[in-house]
Amino acid sequence: MVRFRFRRVLGTVAAAITVASMGAVLNAQPAAAADPGPQRVVGGSTATQGEFPFMVRLSMGCGGALYSPNLVLTAAHCVGSTGTNTSITATLGVVDLNSTSKITRKSNYVYRAPGYTGAGKDWALIRLASPVTTLATLPIATTSTYDTGTFTIAGWGAATEGGAQQRYLRKATVPFVSDTTCNSSAMYGGEVIATDEICAGYTAGGVDTCQGDSGGPMFRRDSANAWIQVGIVSWGDGCARPNKPGVYSQVSYFSANIRSAATSLGG
**Catalytic one among 59, 68, 77, 249?**
77
Q: How far apart (Å, rounded) are the C-alpha atoms in residues 213 and 8?
A: 6
**Catalytic one among 214, 234, 252, 255?**
214
254: left (phi over 0), alpha (psi -120 to 50) or beta: alpha
Q: What are phi and psi of 86, to 5 degrees?
A: -110, 15
**Catalytic one among 59, 68, 107, 122?**
122
| Torsion angle of C-alpha atoms 101, 106, 44, 2, degrees rounded to 10 | 160
| Torsion angle of C-alpha atoms 205, 209, 212, 213, degrees rounded to 10 | -170
Contact 103, 89 (CB under 8 A): no
Q: Any catalytic annotation for residue 77?
A: yes
Q: How far apart (Å, rounded) are the C-alpha atoms in residues 135 and 93?
A: 7
Q: Any catalytic annotation for residue 122?
A: yes
Contact 76, 84 (CB under 8 A): no
Q: How many angstroms separate the Cα of 246 from the Cα of each of 41, 62, 86, 150, 226?
A: 11, 16, 31, 13, 23
Please list the alpha-helical segments (H only) found in 102-222.
Answer: 179-182
Asked whether the CA dihedral 97, 103, 106, 112 is positive or negative, the reply is: negative
Q: How many angstroms separate the Cα of 125 from the Cα of each of 179, 247, 266?
A: 26, 19, 11
Sequence-separated (6 or more) residues with CB below 8 Å from residue 4 = none
Residues recognised as catalytic: 77, 122, 214
